[in-house]
Amino acid sequence: MDIHTNRFRWVIFASVLFTYLIISSQRTAPGLITDKLMADFSVKASTIGLVASIQFFVYTGLQIPMGILVDRYGPNLFLISGAALTGIGTILYSLGTHAFILFFARILTGIGDATIWVSMVLILSLWFGKGEFPRLIGLAGMTGSLGFLLATVPFSAVIVSFGWRGSFLSTGILLCVWSFFLFLILVKKPKQPLLVKSTLQHEKIPVLLRRIFLNRQAWALFLCHFGIVGGYIGFIGSWAVPYAMDVYGMTRIEASQVIMISLIGALVGAPLIGWVSSYLGKIKRPYVVFHITVLMCWTAFLLFKGQPPLFLVIILFFIIGFGFGANSLTFAAVRKSFPVTESGSVSGFANTGGFLSAVLLPGVFGSILESVQSTSGSISDGYFYGFFTPMIFSMVGLIGVMFLNEEQGAIGKQG
């Protein structure tokens, strides 16, 4: 039976999305217990910040290598082992008695996390047709945002009930057990190989990397993702709460509620934008629209000198979150314009762009904020000049999407 008409593929779809949901929640969940870690381990905030950020550095650095490995050996092994590694890392995190163990645990979690997205993209590419892909990858993007949402009030409630160690231990055990079920669902039941041999394995890695790095289509996708992801994850995940507290005098809880508006926007935007793209049969046109929309939102902060009216801030955060949902179109474009046998490598390259911007933006924004505040004495001025960072990142993304050619088979022959 053609796997594109096999009903079991929906079980696979639900299973990989559940995996992504849990792992996404663990990217930001440690932020809920920063004060507890500082007290329990007698360390400074800078140390905890390094522990928290190492996962994203590992994740970003492994995207291209992981894409190549997934293309060569298939996604099943890496999704299964990635869930297990993330589970083991989370268990070690919960049992840690020294900051070094926390550091090592987050490295393991980062390695496991690095396998998930590119593996999931390739699994969906193999089991679903091109026409279905934009809609389904939009749902996958929504699942990631739902994971971030899960790591707010719901996981906080679990921590209050069971303590931070018990909460993370339970999550780690769940992921380890789930990795066994993934083996049954992805390999045993559909009688698919754990390792898949590909003709790509005979090509030298430097040759493949050279073709990707010299390819305009690949760079367009890299820049698309750089522009749409960095502003949302980089700013919303690091400076949005301090911004609301410093400029609008909000409490931490009130500021967090404003950020929830952005998360809701992402939850709504990802599947809706995927559906629109699928309905139109186009990727570039809606992607251009949402890149321009997000760019206008960041520009609005500058037009109001970094202090728009509060009601407008809420609207802007929602729209920025909604526009972030368009990032799934990057991978829909990969699916449409590259052979399936190379989609992992290109997806990894594009995803590197997105998370590179997410890693860079908090530091750049913070440096500008500190520099301006030290010279002018005004924190509001600091935020005003800081907003040039997401605006410029967004402009880079718009340039990328303008160069995107969704009809082009950019590497090798069309699959």
Confidence band of 240 (pLDDT split at 50, 70, 90): confident
DSSP for 162-189 reads HHHHHHHHHHHHHHHHHHHHHHIIIIIT
Q: Is CATH 1.20.1250.20 the right assignment for the domain spanning 1-194?
A: yes
Given the candidates 3.40.50.620, 1.10.3720.10, 3.40.640.10, 1.20.1250.20, the CATH classification of the domain at 205-406 is 1.20.1250.20
Domain definitions of the chain by residue range: 1-194, 205-406
- What percent of the chain clears pLDDT 90, i.e. is strictly above it? 39
- pLDDT tens per residue across span 171-194: 999 999 999 999 999 999 888 888
> Could you tell me if 137 and 274 are in contact, meaning their C-beta atoms sit under 8 angstroms apart?
yes
Confidence band of 407 (pLDDT split at 50, 70, 90): low
> Could you tell me if 187 and 193 are in contact, meaning their C-beta atoms sit under 8 angstroms apart?
yes
At residue 198, does pLDDT exceed 80? no
Least confident of 131-140, 145-154, 264-273, 404-413: 404-413
pLDDT, position 190: 86
- The reply to whether domains 1-194 and 205-406 share a CATH topology is yes
pLDDT, position 3: 55
Integer angstrom CA distances of residue 118 from 75, 132, 197, 339, 379: 8, 18, 17, 14, 40
Name, in order, each residue with C-beta under 8 angstroms of 289's C-beta and a sequence gap of 6 or more.
none
Confidence band of 413 (pLDDT split at 50, 70, 90): very low
- pLDDT tens per residue across span 207-235: 777 888 888 999 999 999 999 988 888 88
Confidence band of 200 (pLDDT split at 50, 70, 90): very low
- pLDDT tens per residue across span 317-345: 999 999 998 888 998 888 888 887 788 88
